[in-house]
């Protein structure tokens, strides 16, 4: 009975979205995986998967087709141990905020990881050290400005996990990790990129999340807030966002200088 009620509210919420411009209905996580990352996958690349753990972005079949070298970097050794056999050519158990790279990566994939890192400044320095000059980092992250992120920061961890898994059982796997959202806003990420010799070559902002769809009146109010917030502060209103960062060939070059 409760599950049927929730499902009906979700359907009503998504029906409402059909009356909004398409950009408000684009799911960031899906766009990152299905549209953004595939643009940058080429043959013979050395690819770092940061935080992929037991669920690396690239499958074994894709790795073979691309003739790629895949290096998994995760803070949890157990997660790395559970990755499909043969996907990682090297598995590194390390904190992305403290790791010092060898500037050997052509491509770095970092999906929904940095919100779980307390020292995001350290993480950006690490990402820059991993990339070779001209190397590309593909970063996807939820924004601290999102309402769900603010609730995540307020609610106790166990209460969050219980609530999330009860309402959305399909999220039970891989969700509910502690989040900090330190400097996880578009403006702050751009500044961190500039300070670490990284130029921004592409930006994507998403104004969609499903957290409030279980109760349409709440979803409706949240949607009105998104429309108002976006009207006033543009991309700062994004629920999630993706940045494509390129390691500068000239360390002295700033992000703005590289794009002009």
pLDDT per position as a tens digit, 147-159: 999 998 988 767 6
Angle formed by the axes of helices 186-195 and 120-130, nearest 10°: 50
Kindly tell me if the per-residue pLDDT of 39 is higher than 80. Answer: yes
Angle formed by the axes of helices 216-233 and 2-17, nearest 10°: 30
CA distances from 238 to 146, 190, 231 (A): 7, 14, 11
pLDDT, one tens digit per residue, over 119-136 is: 999 999 999 999 999 999
Q: Dihedral (C-alpha) 223, 228, 234, 237: value to the nearest 10 degrees?
A: -50
Q: Strand runs (DSSP E) across the chain, as ranges?
A: 46-50, 69-74, 90-93, 105-111, 131-142, 198-206, 240-247
Strand pairing partners for 92? Answer: 73
pLDDT band at residue 3 using 50, 70 and 90 as cut-offs? confident
Calpha distance 93→52 (Å, rounded): 11
3-state secondary structure of 196: coil
Kindly tell me if the per-residue pLDDT of 70 is higher than 60. Answer: yes
Taking 3-state DSSP, the helix, strand and coil percentages for the chain, each rounded to the nearest 5, stand at 45, 20, 35
Give the predicted TM-score (pTM) of the model.
0.90
Sequence spans of domains, the chain: 2-251
**Architecture of domain 2-251 in CATH?**
3-Layer(aba) Sandwich (3.40)
- Asked if 72 and 52 count as a contact pair (C-beta separation under 8 A), the reply is yes
Q: Strand runs (DSSP E) across 14-68, as ranges?
A: 46-50
- Asked if 75 and 93 count as a contact pair (C-beta separation under 8 A), the reply is yes
Which ranges of 134-235 does DSSP label H, i.e. alpha helix?
A: 147-154, 157-167, 186-195, 216-233
């Amino acid at each position: 009975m409760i599950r049927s009620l929730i499902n009906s509210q979700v359907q009503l919420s998504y029906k409402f979205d059909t009356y909004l411009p398409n950009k408000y209905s684009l799911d960031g996580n899906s766009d990152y995986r299905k549209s953004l990352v595939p643009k940058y996958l080429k043959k013979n690349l050395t690819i770092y998967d940061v935080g992929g753990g037991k669920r690396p972005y690239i499958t074994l079949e894709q790795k073979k087709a691309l003739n790629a070298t895949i290096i998994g970097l995760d803070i949890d050794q157990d997660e790395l141990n559970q990755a499909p056999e043969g996907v990682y050519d090297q598995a590194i158990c390390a904190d992305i905020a403290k790791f010092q790279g060898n500037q050997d990566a052509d491509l770095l994939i970092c999906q929904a990881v940095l919100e779980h890192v307390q020292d995001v400044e350290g993480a950006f320095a690490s990402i820059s050290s991993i990339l070779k000059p001209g190397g590309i980092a593909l970063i996807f992250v939820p924004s601290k400005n999102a309402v769900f992120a603010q609730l995540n920061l307020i609610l106790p961890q166990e209460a969050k996990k219980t609530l999330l898994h009860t309402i959305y059982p399909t999220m039970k796997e891989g969700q509910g990790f502690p989040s900090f959202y330190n400097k996880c806003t578009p403006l702050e990420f751009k500044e961190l990129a500039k300070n670490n010799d990284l130029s921004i070559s592409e930006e994507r902002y998403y104004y969609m999340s499903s957290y409030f769809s279980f109760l349409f009146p709440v979803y409706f109010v949240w949607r009105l807030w998104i429309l108002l917030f976006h009207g006033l502060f543009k991309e700062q209103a994004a629920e999630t966002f993706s940045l494509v960062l390129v390691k500068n060939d000239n360390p002295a070059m700033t992000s703005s200088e590289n794009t002009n």
